[in-house]
Amino acid sequence: MLVDNHGRKINYLRLAVTDRCNLRCNYCMPAEGINFAKREELLTTLELKQVAKVLVEMGIEKIRLTGGEPFVRKDIMDLLAFLSHLEGLKDISITTNATLIGKHLDELKQLGIKNINVSLDAIKKETFEHITRRNSYEIVRENLFRLLNEDFNVRVNFIVLQGQNEQDIIPILNEFKDYPVGIRFLEEMPFNGGTKSFGSIHWDHKKILEYITDYFPNYQKLDSPKTSTSVNYKIDGHQGTFGIIPSFSRTFCGSCNRLRVTAKGDVITCLYGKPKTNLREIIRGNDSFDKIKMEVERVIGERAKTGFEAQKEHENKVFESSMTSIGG
Ligand code: SAM
Ligand code: SF4
């Protein structure tokens, strides 16, 4: 079992399988993209499998594949098939923009992979195209409704962006009211591959809840697992739920159970901190997998207590990285 220096059990790995993406969401990266890693810097399929295997042996029970867009990787189903047979791994999930997932639904079902988070920050086509800077609106909606109709466990991630999509908050709740889906509203974080730094945000978790309450006063707060980052609610008459993730306010650090590995093999112990070690060089060197275990144990033993503490590692007070590299 992996336990950090603050007594938190670490059993959840967010594994970014690529930093490439076919969209250009403006909260995630600049229009021209980022300085993408060279192909040889990215972990190969075999290396991703090795990382997953070693970390599961150490106590990881849940792996979420993210990126970049996981489905731009041609070998993604090979990796998922491997993970689905990995002893000790109890939960596999994927975060995707849903542009390319359509042709894989049958195989995903065969592998027993049903937990899919879809990022969708708009109900209207124009808002979607403005935010993503691409015209994939129709295919994303088609794939999202296919996922819902084919009984996947779907959650929708909607980042509330001042001046861009607040007018879609209520419509998205209405649109999915007859589906068993969790709509999660996220605070925006300062990782868009520019040099963002914000001290406060307009749409924080309190304001999002107040806004929803004005339209839907009748809802119940739900019990959520201790490690959940979202506070969850059910509106009367809606089949699904909604949640609010204070990703910028960071009220959930005390129960954080996450470890992140980027597509280049960087290990990140807090989203707001800097990478703590790199596994690619260890795997490609002559060191045994015991060295990976030692390194992971070392960095987990030196974890920042909160995202605010980790943030101090950015001495120049700006966040230069993009979520497409970190994996969200
Ligand atoms: N491409 C996939 C997708 O968009 O779902 C997976 C990678 S994406 C980087 C993972 C998650 O990070 C998405 O839910 C996305 O909305 C979120 N994200 C990206 N940039 C963000 C930001 N600046 N603030 C908050 N969440 C962000
Ligand atoms: Fe791509 Fe996801 Fe970033 Fe959007 S949020 S640009 S879909 S990686």
Confidence of residue 314 (pLDDT cuts 50, 70, 90): confident
What pLDDT is attached to residue 239? 97
Nearest-angstrom CA–CA distance, 56 and 256: 18
Establish whether residue 165 lines the binding site of ligand 1, counting it when its CB lies within 6 angstroms of any ligand atom.
no
Report pLDDT digits (tens) over 245-286.
Answer: 999 999 999 999 999 999 999 999 999 999 999 999 999 987
Strands 62-66 and 258-261: unpaired
**Burial zone of 279 (CB within 10 Å; 0-12 exposed, 13-18 middle, 19+ buried):** buried
Establish whether residue 28 lines the binding site of ligand 1, counting it when its CB lies within 6 angstroms of any ligand atom.
yes
The CATH number of whichever domain residue 57 belongs to comes to: 3.20.20.70
Range of the domain at 88: 2-326
Kindly provide the residue ranges of all beta strands, DSSP E only, lying in the chain, ordered along the sequence: 2-3, 9-10, 12-16, 62-66, 91-96, 115-119, 153-159, 182-186, 219-221, 231-235, 241-245, 258-261, 266-268, 277-278
Report pLDDT digits (tens) over 129-162.
Answer: 999 999 999 999 999 999 999 999 999 999 999 9
Question: Which residue has its alpha carbon closest to ligand 1 atom 4?
Answer: 97
Q: What is the mean pLDDT of the chain?
A: 95
Tell which one of 18, 20, 29, 116 to mutate to probe ligand 2, the residue whose CB is within 8 A of the most ligand atoms.
29
Establish whether residue 189 lines the binding site of ligand 2, counting it when its CB lies within 6 angstroms of any ligand atom.
no
Distance 298 CA to ligand 2 centre (A): 31
**Number of domains the chain contains:** 1
Establish whether residue 240 lines the binding site of ligand 2, counting it when its CB lies within 6 angstroms of any ligand atom.
no
By the 8 A CB rule, do 220 and 233 touch? yes
